[in-house]
Every structure is written in C-alpha cells, then in structure tokens.
Amino acid sequence: MLKTPAGDTDVLSEVLEAAEFELMFANLAELRGPFGVAIPGDQEAALHVVLEGRVVVGLAETGEHLELRDQQLIVLPVDVPHSLSDRKGRRLLNPRQVPGLDQGPLGTSVRLGTSGPRTRLLTAAFRLKRGWTSRLLRVLPAVITTSRSVAPHLFDHAARLEAEIQGREPGRRYLLRRGFEALFVEALRTAIDLHTTGSLVGALGDRHLRAAVEALHRQPRREWTVTELGALAGLSRSAFAERFRAGLGVTPRQYLIRWRMERATTLLATTDLALGEIAQQVGYESEAAFSRTYRSVTGTPPATFRRTHRRRPEMNKDRLTAT
C-alpha cells in the first residue's frame, strides 16, 4: 500500500475535508425477490456491501448492469443515478415507497419482498456538501468495486457495522456515522492501491502524479511550472503534462487554481480574515486578482459567498435522528 510519510501532505484527507464529506443515511436491507429500487443520486456518493446473496446494480447513465454477490462491495460517485434489483429489467420502486430506505433514521433495518432467496445489503449515502469540489477535482473514479478476496478488512469492518445496527449499545449512532465514513474512505484507499485511473484517487495511486499533486497541496502559493512538477514526478515536461491531464482531467495549472479556491472557500466560511489576507494566503498578490479568479471558478464573488455561507456555531450539528 502506498503510504503518506509522517508529517507529509495527505491530499485525500485535505480534499474530503474541503468538500465537507459526511454521511447522510445508512441502513441494513433484507431483500427478497422480486425487488427493484431506483436510487436518484442527488449529489450523494453511494456505498453498497453485499453481506449475503446477490444484487444487480444498474447504472442509469451508461446502461451497464453489474452483478454483485456475497462479500462484494461497490462505491458510486456523486450524481450517479442507479438501481438495485434482483435481476435486470425489474420494475423499480421509488425509494420513498420503501419505508426507511430513503433518508430514514441512521441504522434502520429495511425489509422488502417476501419470497425468493434472501439478500442482505449494507447501504449508505454520503454527501459532499460543497458538491462542486468533487466535480472540479474529480475526487472519485466512475465506479469502485472490490471483494473480500482483495480487501478482507473492508468486509470485517462491514460486519462490525452490521452488528452495531442490530444492537442498541450506548454510542451506537456516533459509531455508525463514523464507521460508515471510515468504510467509504477505506474503499477509496483500495482504489488507490489498485491504481484506478481517471480521478484524483487514481492519481494518488500513480507514484509520478502523486508526487506532483502532493507538491501542489504542500505549497499552493507557489507559481509552479510544468517543468518543475515534471521533475518532481520523474518525467519529461511533455510526458508529465499529458499524464496529468489524462489522470485528473485538468492541466496542472487548472488543478492548482481550483485547489487554491477550495482553500479560499474554507477561509471565507470559517475565519474573519480580510479578503486581501485570504488572497495572500492562497497565492495572489492583489485582492482584485483573487476576486476575479474566485468568481470565474465558483460563479460567485468571494464577498457574496462569505455573506451567504459564513458559519456560525451550531448547538447540535448531528441531524441524524436516533432510532
């Protein structure tokens, strides 16, 4: 496994924190055929773990159908409508027609169908509250699938979550929330190890691109050149530029600018720093240049964003209700 040295830049953590990644809901579903449910996506990443049985996952955008069996897992990225069914072509229910499946309390046990072989499924949805983060930086690959034979620790983790859902021990809700979030990140790590391409996760599995991306995160104020980044990556200027764009879908300069705007967004929402100070912190000599860039990337002037998104202390940040 590729590791981040102690004290070194942890790009994946920085991006997930900037995106305000959080669990929206999670449950344990017991499904018996015939069954079919449409999952709309709605700016949420989805995670499904087959504990027993089988499920067909249909991807609406591509028309592809993936069959998952015992001890297999799938992660789908932001804004990917999909379906869960016992076979291709099954009539699909809206999640609101299945009590507890859509936005139900954390850790709900859901049952659907009365006949046919049993499928037990852990299912969860995660929101990147600043959804444009994931789109601009392409955090996730299109699909992540894996099995116990490849990543047994993921399924040991899933078994603990199943037991927690079925129990009623103190701290259950907190552990479930953190546990599902940890399972999601562990699945991303698996994708990094497998060198999945076409995303930031894939780039972190490429030792050449990872060196460059970490440098951009470590020193975002620096005016990096493609030649300098290529040298860090151990590639020629042209080979690096081509590899970076293929891996992340943007040029190194575009990535740097967008990451600067991510950092600026956090500072706007969480600090009292003046716009000129924020501009300096993210690599701009003038407030005007920073404001122009921020508006170009996000569609909103920084002062407007601050007025409408400034965070205030919340008495209770946990919006997930107890069961």
Return d(Cα 111, Cα 105) in angstroms, integer: 14
CATH homologous superfamily, domain 20-194: Regulatory protein AraC (2.60.120.280)
Q: Residues of 164-198 as b/e, b for ≥16 C-beta within 10 angstroms?
A: bbeeeeeebbebbbebbbebbebbbbbbbebebbe
The whole-model pTM stands at 0.79
Percent of the chain with pLDDT over 70: 85
Statement: residue 5 has pLDDT above 80:
no
Q: Please identify which residue in the block is written with the tokens 């240049």.
A: 289
Q: If you average pLDDT over residues 288-310, what whole number do you get?
A: 92
Statement: residue 322 has pLDDT above 50:
no
- The single-letter code of the amino acid at 275 is L
pLDDT of residue 65: 95
Q: What does the DSSP 8-state code read for residue 4?
A: P
Q: If you average pLDDT over residues 129-147, what whole number do you get?
A: 69
Closest CA to 245 of 229, 261, 268, 231: 229
Domain ranges of the chain: 20-194, 206-309
Highest mean pLDDT among 44-48, 125-129, 195-199, 234-238: 234-238
pLDDT in tens, 163-192: 999 888 888 889 999 999 999 999 988 888
Q: Please identify which residue in the block is written with the tokens 């040991």.
A: 156
Other CB atoms closer than 10 Å to residue 252's CB: what's the count?
24
Q: If you average pLDDT over residues 226-250, what whole number do you get?
A: 94
Torsion angles phi and psi, residue 296, rounded to 5: -65, -40
Q: If you average pLDDT over residues 111-122, what whole number do you get?
A: 87
6: left (phi over 0), alpha (psi -120 to 50) or beta: beta
Give Cα 145 distance to the centre of its chain.
14
Contact 137, 47 (CB under 8 A): no
Is it true that domain 206-309 has CATH number 1.10.10.60? yes
Topology alike, domains 20-194 and 206-309: no
Statement: residue 100 has pLDDT above 70:
no
> 37 pairs with which residues across the strands?
84, 93
Which of 139-153, 159-173, 208-222 is predicted least confidently?
139-153
pLDDT of residue 21: 82
Q: If you average pLDDT over residues 69-92, what whole number do you get?
A: 88
Token pair belonging to 287: 């407030």
